[in-house]
């Protein structure tokens, strides 16, 4: 089986399992097939196969695929069941594409952001921009419990963020973990990039 064959994720994996994974026939399979076709066409213009190494060019192409799918109307954060199948379909073609049609880390804004934050960021995310999450710090790697970055409210209503993050790449915003020693948990702050 060729993992990059057009439509392979649907015909080779999803359709045979359809009676088990969608017994109530709730998934819009026509829409999913349209997404597969759009993805194949977009990947012809912006190939991101295993032969393209990590780096700036790969990131540029991945973002271009995300934005092109959004322009074609394939970005959707409302239908969670469809989103799960879309994530499989895109991730089957290339793991880095798994969030090509959803909000990715921007789901944190959708679920937990204030109404003003959601109003500002969600349209941009659904238009194909990308939110990154910054957890990694030089001293602690990706262990959120080791986070030293702090965000404190300023007198003017803004936030003062201090700390050092590494391995960050996003076209829009940055969700920066902030550890509250008093409360014993990490939180996030949305920052423009």
Cα–Cα distance for residue pair 175/2, rounded to 1 Å? 37
Number of structural domains, the chain?
2
Residue whose token pair is 């969600």: 122
Give the residue from 83, 102, 121 where a domain finishes.
102
pLDDT for the residue 156: 93
Same domain, residue pair 108 and 98 = no
- As beta bridge partners, residue 186 has 179
Task: Let me know if residue 36 belongs to a domain.
Answer: yes
Task: Let me know if residue 95 belongs to a domain.
Answer: yes
pLDDT for the residue 102: 85
Domain holding 135, by residue range, is 103-193
pLDDT tens digits, residue range 140-158?
Answer: 766 777 777 877 788 998 8
- The neighbour count for residue 17, using CB atoms within 10 Å, is 9
pLDDT tens digits, residue range 79-106?
Answer: 888 999 999 999 999 988 988 898 887 8
pLDDT tens digits, residue range 155-175?
Answer: 998 878 788 877 766 655 555
Cα–Cα distance for residue pair 130/153, rounded to 1 Å? 26
pLDDT tens digits, residue range 15-61?
Answer: 899 999 999 999 999 999 999 999 999 999 999 988 899 888 998 99
**Cβ proximity of 178 and 147 under 8 Å:** yes
Same domain, residue pair 91 and 108 = no
In degrees to the nearest 10, what's the CA dihedral of 94, 69, 8, 131?
30
Residue whose token pair is 């092109």: 68
- As beta bridge partners, residue 188 has 177
Which residue blocks in 55-114 are alpha helix, DSSP H?
Answer: 56-71, 80-93, 107-112
Residue whose token pair is 């990131």: 59
Same domain, residue pair 109 and 96 = no
Distance of CA 2 to the CA centre of its chain: 25
Same domain, residue pair 108 and 82 = no
Cα–Cα distance for residue pair 177/188, rounded to 1 Å? 5
């Amino acid at each position: 089986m060729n993992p990059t064959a057009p439509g392979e994720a649907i015909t080779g994996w999803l359709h045979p399992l359809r009676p088990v994974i969608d017994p109530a026939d709730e998934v819009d399979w026509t829409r999913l097939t349209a997404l597969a076709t759009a993805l194949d066409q977009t990947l012809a213009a912006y190939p991101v196969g295993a032969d393209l190494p990590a780096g700036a060019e790969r990131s540029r192409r991945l973002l271009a695929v995300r934005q092109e799918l959004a322009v074609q109307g394939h970005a959707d954060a409302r239908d969670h069941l469809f989103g799960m199948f879309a994530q499989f379909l895109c991730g089957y073609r290339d793991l880095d594409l798994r969030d090509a049609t959803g909000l990715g880390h921007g789901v944190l804004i959708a679920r937990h952001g204030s109404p003003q934050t959601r109003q500002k960021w969600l349209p941009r995310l659904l238009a194909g921009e990308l939110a990154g999450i910054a957890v990694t710090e030089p001293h602690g790697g990706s262990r959120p419990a080791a986070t030293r970055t702090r965000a404190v409210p300023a007198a003017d209503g803004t936030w003062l963020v201090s700390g050092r993050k590494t391995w960050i790449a996003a076209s829009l915003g940055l969700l920066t973990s902030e550890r509250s020693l008093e409360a014993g948990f990490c939180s996030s702050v949305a920052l423009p990039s």
